[in-house]
Amino acid sequence: MRDVIEADDFNPKKITDDLIKRCKTAKEWFVYCYIDEAWNPNGKPFPFEMRIVDGIVGCRVICSTYNEAQTIVANFLPVIRFINEPEEDNDE
């Protein structure tokens, strides 16, 4: 005898609407940081573009907010410290 499976809340329209909303709010963010020099990439792809110049790591991340961009970078790299954007430095 088969087990009874409870109703699944799978709603393709809601999933599609949420995806479209996320795409409309996405922006290009540039996040700069210092990372641990002993770090070695393990060959896995990153969900962002990355360049290292003079010890500063620059990442181009596509997402909704700058904080989300920093979180994405921190989840994939051993960030020591984020470098503030120049316009953020003027607020101090």
Q: Report the distance separating Cα 40 and Cα 52, nearest Å.
A: 13
> In the chain, at which residue ranges do the beta strands (DSSP E only) sit?
27-35, 49-53, 56-63, 79-83
Domain that holds residue 41: 27-84
**Domains identified in the chain, total number:** 1
Confidence band, pLDDT 50/70/90 cuts, at residue 43: confident
Judge whether 46 lies within some domain: yes
Q: Is residue 90 part of a domain?
A: no
Helix (H), strand (E) at residue 50: strand 49-53
Dump pLDDT digits (tens) for 3-42: 766 666 788 999 999 999 989 999 999 999 999 989 888 8
Is 57 contained in some domain?
yes
CA atoms within 13 A on the CB side of 17: 4
Residue 57 CA to residue 70 CA, distance in Å, equals 12
Global pTM reads 0.73
Summarised one tens digit per residue, pLDDT across range 49-65 is 999 999 899 999 999 99
Q: Is residue 19 part of a domain?
A: no
For residue 90, is pLDDT > 80? no
The answer to whether position 13 is within a domain reads: no
